[in-house]
Amino acid sequence: MRLMLSALVLAALSTAALAQSTGVAVTQAWSRASTPAAKTGAIYVTVTAGGPDRLTGASTPVAETAEVHQSKMTNGVMEMRPVEGGLAVTPGTPIHMAPGGYHIMLLGLKQPLQQGSHVPLTLNFEHAGAVNVEAVVAGPGASEPPRP
Amino acid sequence: MPETKPTRPAPTWRFAPIILAGFAVILLVAAGAIWFFGAPAPLQQAAAIGGPFSLTDGAGKPVTDKTYRGKYMLVYFGYTFCPDVCPTTLNDVAQAIDKIGPVADKLQPLFITIDPARDTPDVIRQYAAAFSPKLQGLTGTAAQIADVAKEYRVYYASHKTGPGPGDYTMDHSSILYVMDPSGHFAGVIRADEGPDAIAADLKKIVS
């Protein structure tokens, strides 16, 4: 019986390890506080892939829609665009989302994002499926995630 | 008294050397100004940026460029719907203001929206206040915003992102403008160089 249990645990562990090696890890999710009147927000995450994958969409209960967007400065003009066709992630090159680049754009905020609170976020990947994370909310113009 | 008539032009002729001397002085001053401030090209360029505007502040009150006479204006154009870049810039500006100490008292930072359809006075007031109590958000009619953007040579355009009327983002110039206390152009500062560099540039321009 004990042997069988150990075997089961071993099997479960190896499955988990396997999932890790081919799946994606989403870490360091953070956002910035918004005003009561604000209708938009942005969440930044770091995505590390075990195998080639694609971030195709996102959702959160605090906003009507969540999209992958990119901000870009061209000749002194700032542009923000939805990333068409999803964001490709390759093993070995994690995507560090940060202000002024890639971000999860929250549209139709249902409530203000309060500093210090946590926002649930689901990221959908082509192969790894849905990955749930919680983003911690920093100050209104923070340039990096709050230190723990 | 028939002689009085021909003598009438005499006073004008008597003043002619003084008038000529006056012109000479003006020319000398102008030449001196060009020599002192440098080539005429930057002067023309300086005159081209900024100008009169009529807008609405966060309390819904009308304001003009004259409202801020006596203070340097630090002007940034953006929109509150932008959750990524604009907060970074405004936070950097707020930090820079904290770094320059008493110089900040001579400065009025302004955030002018280029998305007046969405940025009502209430929206822009809350947004600006989130970064600094000193930062004033300004909005206006579409025509007023177009006018002030033209004065400051600011480019902006909406970009559709979906089928709905509210599905758009704005492209806009991202530069900090400094105007002197009499409303004339005093300099530009890069918006993306961080709070330390913005503070150093402000100290150089604001005196």
**Position B166 pLDDT exceeds 50:** yes
List chain B residues with CB under 8 Å of A98.
none
Yes or no: say if B171 and B157 are a contact pair by the CB < 8 Å rule.
yes
Fill in the amino acid letter for A2. R
Q: What does the alpha-carbon distance between residue B202 and residue B104 come to, in Å, rounded to a whole number? A: 9
- CB contact (8 A) between residue B127 and residue A143: no
pLDDT at B181 over 50: yes
Among B130, B133, B90, smallest CA distance to B112 is for B90
- Considering only CB atoms, A40 lies closest to which of B81, B130, B159, namely B81
- Radius of gyration, CA atoms only, chain B: 24
Of B81, B87, B170, the CB nearest to A141: B87
Tell me the average pLDDT across B77-90.
93
Nearest by CB: A37 against B82, B122, B155: B122
pTM (whole model) above 0.90? no
- CB–CB of B53/B144 below 8 Å? yes
Contacts of B99 (CB under 8 A, 6+ apart): B195, B196, B199
Provide the pLDDT for residue B207: 81
* Per-residue b or e along A96-122, where b marks 16 or more CB atoms closer than 10 Å to that residue's CB: ebbbbbbbbbbbebeebbebeeebebe
Per-residue pLDDT band for B12 (boundaries 50, 70, 90) equals low
Residue of B nearest to A39 (CA): B81
**Fold (topology level) of A24-138:** Immunoglobulin-like (2.60.40)
Highest-pLDDT range among A82-91, B21-30, B36-45: A82-91
| pLDDT above 90 (res B149) | yes
B93's tokens: 């500006």
Q: CB of B131 within 8 Å of any CB in chain A?
A: yes
Extents of the domains making up chain A: 24-138
> Are the beta carbons of A29 and A134 closer than 8 angstroms?
yes
Handedness of CA A144, B198, B78, B131 (dihedral sign): positive
Which residue reads 């110089």 in tokens? B103
Angle at which helices B40-48 and B10-37 pack, to 10 degrees? 90
User: What is the predicted ipTM?
Assistant: 0.79
How many interchain CB pairs under 8 A, A with B? 92
Are A99 and B161 within 8 A, CB to CB? no
Q: Following CA atoms A104, A107, A110, A113 in sequence, which dihedral angle do they give, to the nearest 10 degrees?
A: 40
Instruction: Output the six-digit token pair for B105.
Output: 């008292």
A51 min Cα distance to partner chain B (Å): 29
